[in-house]
Amino acid sequence: MHHVIIGNGITGITAARTLRKLSDDTITVISGETDYFFSRTALMYIYMGHMRFEDTQPYPPEFWKKNRINLLKKWVKQVHVDSKLIEFDNGDTLEYDTLLIATGAQSNKFGWPGQDLKGVQGLYSYQDLLELEANTRNGINRGVIVGGGLIGIEMAEMLHARKYPVTLLVRETNYWNNVLPEQESDMISHHIRHHGFDLRLNETLTEILGDAQGRVRGVITGSGEEIACQVVGLTAGVAPNIAFLKGGSINVDRGVVINQHMRTNIESVFAAGDCAQFQHALPDRRPIEQVWYTGKLQGECAAKNMLGMPTLYNPGYWFNSAKFLDIEYQTYGTVLNKLRDGESEFYWEHPDREKAVHIVYRTEDRLFIGINVFGLRMRHDIFNTWLQQGKSVDYVLTHLRAAHFDPEFYRHFEDAVIQSWNAQHPNHMITLADAKSAKKMIFKNA
């Protein structure tokens, strides 16, 4: 058997490693982007000088040979599913028995005038990083970031690290409030401004202006203001990178359409990660999941199905994390930006506006549904267990100390959280369990 994977990101590589763990088959990973797998999420740290590119590669070069995973640095032009053949842009071909499409995504461009000028770019690939280096090589006076998401804030932080002023144009009324509830969104907006960024909420992009050389020289906003800048970051989301499949017989919509076995409409062709779109989304989840962890889970699931071990995509409870400048964010379970019918919430925020806890539960039976944590660290395994066991919000709050994951000697905020809860819920007063019982819960395997 020859398994071929297009894309050497976290999804493709997780699939390759899983295939190797479970079989002795031939494995080939194709990527035109880089020679070796690197952590896409770390691109910003290279630009800021925290790491070198090779530091973002999770496995040393000898790893691939040792695990007999063939790497091929080529761009795919077309897939011929009838003859099970991949055609590269230089005319070469490669035969496969099973194929995994894990080509990731690319930055959205919504047809703005001037969006193809020099100095206008997204941030997703290694090539994007090189482009940003080139675009700022001679220094810039200002960068404008369009779109208020996770990549937007990263790009803003990158430019800021090199002491370039940054303006963020965000369509929403508050930062990322299409995902975050209003309270957290407001706190993050405050934090972004506290760092000295020019954050424009309720603001859109109308046009990107170019100079005689075809380089960006400024933008015109929705409210008609002209802002001079030399770099424009387009970070209004990403879309599946599947142009090479258009017009072929693999079924595509926004992404490559797959079923719960990660299989496309073609028997031997699978897709996973940022480029894949579930025909039927799982409850509480989106049809296209574009985060690191789902890429990992989908890659593993796809590999098992490629080996003929029928495995349904069953990712368990949602979790994610991010970092907004200096505020870390972790989430477990489901906390949507707006409460759904039958849901209640509890929100606590520290007066310093850098720490917050947001808990959502079912009003009727008080079932714990999810938590957002900002500026504090909490334990994944503890929350996953509580979600699995269907614990109540009262149970979660009582044992909140067991979830604490901040470094030693950090101030604890469980008492403040519970105080705030008790003030709001006199009929459901909580007494925090002591540190000893928390320790017992953490080290339950003892």
Partner 1 sequence: MSELNTSISLTQTYPAKFNALQKTGLTLTGIGILTIFLAWAGAGTTQPLLCLLITIIGLFSGGILYTYGTYGHLPKGIKNNRNFISSISSGGTLAWISAVAITGFYVVLYWRDHWKTVFGTDIFSGLVHMFDPLSQLLRKSDADQWFVYGSFYTIAVLIMGTKFIYKYRHNNYQILRTCSVMFFQLGFAWLIPGIMKALYNFEPFYSYFWPLDYDAIFPGTLSYMLDRPGNLGVFFIFWGIVMSFIATPLLTYFFGKRWYCSWVCGCGGLAETAGDPFRHLSDKSISAWKIERWMIHSVLALIILTTILILVSDVIGEHLKLSINQYVYYAVLIGLAYLVYRGIAKSGSQMRLRPTMIVLGCITGFLILYALIPNLKTGDQVVSFSTAGLAKWYSFSIGMVFSGVIGVGFYPIMGSRVWCRFGCPMAAYMGVIQRFKSRFRITTNGAQCISCGNCSTYCEMGIDVRAYAQRGQNIVRASCVGCGVCSAVCPRGVLKLETGPDNAARTEVLFTSEDLKILV
Restricted to residues 188-217, the positions that interact with partner 1 (CB under 8 A) are: 194-195
* 3-state class (DSSP) for residue 196: coil
Sheet with 368-374: strands ordered across: 319-324, 327-333, 368-374, 356-362, 343-349
Is 425 a binding residue for partner 1 by CB under 8 A? The answer is no
CB contact at 8 A, 204 and 169: yes
Restricted to residues 261-300, the positions that interact with partner 1 (CB under 8 A) are: 292-293, 296-297, 300
Is 392 a binding residue for partner 1 by CB under 8 A? The answer is no
Q: Which one, 208 or 302, has the nearer CB to partner 1?
A: 302
Distance between first and last Cα of the chain: 44
CB contact at 8 A, 18 and 299: yes
Give the number of C-alpha atoms closer than 13 A to the C-alpha of residue 255, restricted to the C-beta side: 32
Distance, CA of 3 to CA of 348 (rounded, Å): 50
Q: Which one, 19 or 252, has the nearer CB to partner 1?
A: 19
Among 121, 183, 330, 372, binds partner 1 (CB under 8 A): 330
- Rg (the chain; Cα; Å): 24
CB of 263 to partner 1, least distance (A): 19
- Residues 97-126, one symbol each (x = binds partner 1 by CB under 8 A, - = not), give -----------------------------x
CB of 11 to partner 1, least distance (A): 13
Distance, CA of 352 to CA of 432 (rounded, Å): 23
Among 82, 308, 408, 423, binds partner 1 (CB under 8 A): 408
Among 283, 308, 316, 426, binds partner 1 (CB under 8 A): 316
CB of 79 to partner 1, least distance (A): 25
Is 428 a binding residue for partner 1 by CB under 8 A? The answer is no
Distance, CA of 278 to CA of 286 (rounded, Å): 8
CB contact at 8 A, 292 and 37: no
CB of 46 to partner 1, least distance (A): 6
Is 51 a binding residue for partner 1 by CB under 8 A? The answer is yes
CB of 327 to partner 1, least distance (A): 9
Q: Which residues, including other chains, have CB under 8 Å from residue 422's CB and lie 6 or more apart?
A: 429, 430
Restricted to residues 21-50, the positions that interact with partner 1 (CB under 8 A) are: 34-36, 39, 41-42, 45-50
How far, in whole angstroms, is CA 244 from its chain's centroid?
23
Is 423 a binding residue for partner 1 by CB under 8 A? The answer is no
Is 356 a binding residue for partner 1 by CB under 8 A? The answer is no
CB of 330 to partner 1, least distance (A): 6
CB of 393 to partner 1, least distance (A): 20
Is 445 a binding residue for partner 1 by CB under 8 A? The answer is yes
Among 92, 141, 410, 434, binds partner 1 (CB under 8 A): 410
CB of 265 to partner 1, least distance (A): 26
Q: Which one, 172 or 274, has the nearer CB to partner 1?
A: 274
Distance, CA of 14 to CA of 298 (rounded, Å): 9
Restricted to residues 70-99, the positions that interact with partner 1 (CB under 8 A) are: none
Restricted to residues 129-188, the positions that interact with partner 1 (CB under 8 A) are: 129-130, 133-134, 137, 139, 161-163
Distance, CA of 328 to CA of 288 (rounded, Å): 24
Distance, CA of 368 to CA of 370 (rounded, Å): 6
Helix (H) or strand (E) holding 145: strand 143-146
- CA 324 vs CA 156, 158, 208: distances in Å: 10, 12, 27
* 3-state class (DSSP) for residue 198: strand
Is 62 a binding residue for partner 1 by CB under 8 A? The answer is yes
How far, in whole angstroms, is CA 222 from its chain's centroid?
28
Under rule CB under 8 A, how many of the chain's residues touch partner 1? Answer: 72
